[in-house]
Each structure stands twice: as structure tokens, then as C-alpha cells.
Amino acid sequence: MRSDEIKKGPERAPHRALLKSLGLTDQDLTKPFIGIANSYTTIVPGHIHLQTLGQIVKEGIIQAGGTPFEFNTIAICDGIAMGHEGMRYSLPSRELIADSVELMMQAHRLDGMVLISDCDKITPGMLMAAARLNVPTIALTGGPMASGIFEGKKVGVNNVFEAVGKVFAGKMTVEESAALENVACPGCGSCNGMFTANTMACMTEALGMSFPYCATALANGALKQRIAKETGRKIVELVNKDVKPLQILTQEAFENAVAVDMALGGSTNTVLHLSAIAREAEIKLDLVKYDEIGRKVPHLCNMVPSGPYDMEALGLAGGLPALMKELNPFIHPDALTVTTKTVGENIAQAQVTDSEVIRPLSNPVHKEGGIAILRGNLAPKGAVVKAVAIAPSILRHQGPAKVYDSEREAEEAMKRKEVEAGDVVVIRYEGPKGGPGMPEMLIPTATIAGMGLSESVALITDGRFSGATRGPCIGHVAPEAFEGGPIAAIKDGDVITIDIPNRVLRVELSEQELKKRLAAWKPRKPKIMKGYLSRYAPT
């Protein structure tokens, strides 16, 4: 075992002395050492309960004959970071999380690990570390919060963001908005819909890195605690059998995850995160694969924010195992999972208990999957859109550009009611380098929705959109403006064509005119030149 490097032999007496200072006995030192990477913090709703889950995991490890050691990583709440400078730090935190897990595991030579996480960047960051380290690992995602109830309807944080636009448009009073905010988030857990946090929890389960039903088990429920206990027990078995992540994170596993993503209509951010995890696992997962699978796999679950069903409803309908069983023609059932069983074995007894929440293949919500990859002279390297969150009337759209060089500029323009039906709002210089940090933009999209313009106004950005976004919102436009991509050449009034069924994103300019404008373009200085984000600035 790896931990023998710090506990066996006469030359390791100093190491054993330090370990015994923790209260460990000689018997404890003979057992597998299991690391528990926990992103517990008291400022993030999806993480405030993870300390409790960590204790339950420890109990499971001890029962199975292991010695647990818990350490922490950071966690940023995208909802709290949204709409100000803090959002620039969200995506870059993913790499810091991966690095911190690597550092702790490598320095202390632990034999296996449990990853306890929730929320957007933490789960993928930890999975990146798992692929990089390739020591026996199980992920335990913290689970969704229950929905709130407002005026007899289920609500969540996305409704509060959209309320901002309703207040601007005179469709809701400030007092009504305050009443909504008091009930929208009734307790701990990741936000209630198929936003990025819950999409990544589903991807973790679909990859085979967490236990069946883990993604949909509510944060404050007994099922989550039972899964936590079993996770602790199982990780000791994985160490003893030497079952490692790279046996699980195969090409087939990633294709399974993308298929599930398409059926769920998940967040566009999965394109960033699954690709990053795949790179660590040395698996090729490019945009072509997303489009290939998305053309074949139908959208089966009409989830919040574009549909009526929350995560609790998905769990009650049979969870991910029932969905994957329905997707059987499109998945690889022989893929190995952390249960030491295959996907096919895990889902054999699963059943769909509500065919409105998990539709059959014969009656999908949409014939194609949730995410589409667009290309054209405005996005030569591609752009990403959640196609199933768009009204059919605006799947094809052509309109004049209204161009803003930052999210803040766009928000101010919306407050002044400068954006009108038919417009294509372009928000640029918000990419990985231009942002820097590729901030997520929910406030502009939610404001548009709240103003009642989500079926008549499109948004395009080289940044990215929240998983809570709905409407024709196209992100990840590449190359980004900061690198002189075509989006940098757009001017107010230019006509932009969006054709999602045909995967086209184009500005109606001649090739000669576009080249002329780009030749005249001048690079900008980075917005931030010091601190953590300065590493995104070009050298």
C-alpha cells in the first residue's frame, strides 16, 4: 500500500511518532489510510451539511477496517458570486481544488480517497484530481435542496434571479420579490433544478464514480446518509482490490455521461467540466463527440429551469438508474463503476415510476439532446447552447447586434430598457482570458427572462452562462474577443443569424469585411494584473 511509505520499517519511526500524536494506535497503522477530501464550508448552501456527511463516511471507513483522515478544499457558491467581480474567481477555483486534493494525497501517501463535494466547480475539480492521482476513489455528492413554495408553486433561486427582471419591467413589486426570496431556498443542498451543480452530480453518477441514486438523493435526507455510510465502507474494499479511477473513467464512461447529459437537458458548463476530467484521464472528448451523441440521444427529462420538474421529482421517478435503463440503446452497460459492478448490473432492477418526469424513448420532450454545438464565421472554433431551453419560435433567429464589452455594461443597458424584442445582445471580453476567468452570467439572462423577452431576444458571449439560464443564450464563443476572435469585430447593428437546428452562428458580413475589421483590431490589456487571476493573463 502507498501508506507503507510513511508507516513501515525502522526508518519510519519519526513518521509513526507524528501519526501517534493524532491518537492513532499501532493497530490503526496497519489499516488502509483513506483520505476524505471535504469541501465543507458555512457560506455555501450546498456545502454546509458536508461536515455531517464526512462524519458518516468516517464511520463507514472504520467499520470496514480503514483509518480515515479528513482534509478540506475550498468551495465557491456561484449564486452568491454572481453578477460582481467575485464570479471571475469561480471557474479558476476548479484547478485550485484539483491541485489541493493532489497535494494532500501525494504528500501523505494515502491509499484511497472519498471526495465529498457539491456545486459547480468543486465536483469536477475533485474528479480531475481523481483521474490525475489514479488511487482508489469514490465521489459522494452532497445532494440537491428541496424546492421552496411560493403562491402554491415550486420555486428555487432561479425564480429569484428572474424576479429582478420582473421588478425592472414593472411585473412584480419589490415586496413580492422580498416574499419570494424568503421562501425560495428552504434549506441546505445544491439549488433545486438541473443547474450546473446537479448536472455535475448526475455526470458523476453516470461516469460510475458515485453510488447509484447519489445524484438525486436530497441533501437533508436519510438516503443520502445511507449512501455516505456505504461509500465509506466501499472505499476500503476498492483499496483492497486495487480498483482505480482510470479503470472506471474510460471512453465508454464519458460517452455514457454525455448521453445522460443530453437526456437530462443539463447545463452547458458540462462541456467545460467533462472535457477537463477527460483530459486528466487522457481520454479524447471533443465538441464533435457532443454533437454526435446529441443528434442521436433524445431529451427525456423536462427539468427546471426550462421545464417543471425539480431534482426531487427526478429522484422519485427512479433517478439516474431508471433514466440510464431507458437510455439502454445509447449507453455502454459493461462500463465499470465504484460499486465494482457494471452499469448494466447497477441499473438492472431500476424502474421508471413516473413517465412524465422520465419520458420513454418513444415519447421524448425533444427528439434531440439538450446541448448543441454551433459553428460559423462568428464562432469558428464553436459555441455552446442549451437547445432544449429555447422556445421553438426562436430556434432560428436573425436580428441586429447590440454590443457590450462587459457583463456590467449589458446589465446597465437592460435596466435602461435599451434592449428590445428582436435584438441579439453580444457580451464580449468575458472569456477565460478576457474576463478573466470566464465568468458565468445569470443576471443578464434572468433579467431578459423576467422582462418577458426570452422568446424574442438572443444573447451571445465568449463567457459562459449559468445552468439556471433559459432562452436563446449562446456561450463559449471561440476564439474569444481577447484573442482577436471574430466576436471582437462585431458592431452595433450588424445582423446576426442563429440557426440552432442547423448548428449555425453567423454574422452577415462578407469575408473581406470581417478580415478588414479584424486586421484593424488592437489587443487589450488584461483587466487584472495581480493575484490569482493574473495567471490567466497572456505572458
Contact 96/102 with Cβ under 8 angstroms?
no
Alpha carbon 126 to its chain centroid, in Å, reads 12
Q: Quick one: 489 exposed, middle or buried, by C-beta within 10 A (0-12, 13-18, 19+)?
A: buried
Q: Which residues of 11-21 are buried (b: 16+ CB within 10 A; e: fewer)?
A: eeeebbeebee
Q: Quote the cell numbers at residue 533.
A: 487571476
Q: Which residue has the cell 467499520?
A: 63
Residues 6+ apart with CB under 8 A from 430: 406, 407, 438, 439, 441, 461, 462, 463
Q: Quick one: 499 exposed, middle or buried, by C-beta within 10 A (0-12, 13-18, 19+)?
A: middle
Helix ranges restricted to H, 357-442: 407-415
Identify which of 390, 365, 399, 403 has the alpha carbon closest to the alpha carbon of residue 487.
Answer: 403
Amino acid in position 236: V
H helix or E strand, kind and range, residue 239: helix 222-241
Q: Quote the cell numbers at residue 424.
A: 441579439
| Residue 466 a catalytic site member | yes
d(CA 274, CA 254): 8
φ/ψ of residue 186, rounded to 5: -80, -5
H helix or E strand, kind and range, residue 80: helix 78-81
Identify which of 165, 157, 156 has the alpha carbon closest to the alpha carbon of residue 410.
Answer: 165
Identify which of 2, 384, 415 has the alpha carbon closest to the alpha carbon of residue 196.
Answer: 384
Which whole-number Å values give the CA distances from 351 to 97, 197, 223, in the listed order?
A: 36, 25, 17
Amino acid in position 404: Y
Contact 462/429 with Cβ under 8 angstroms?
yes
The catalytically annotated residue of 210, 454, 456, 466 is 466
The full DSSP string for 472-527 is SEEEEEES-GGGT-GGGG--TT-EEEEETTTTEEEES--HHHHHHHHHH------S
Q: What is the DSSP letter of 35?
A: E
Residues 6+ apart with CB under 8 A from 477: 378, 379, 383, 431, 460, 461, 462, 485, 487, 505
Annotated catalytic sites, by residue?
Answer: 466
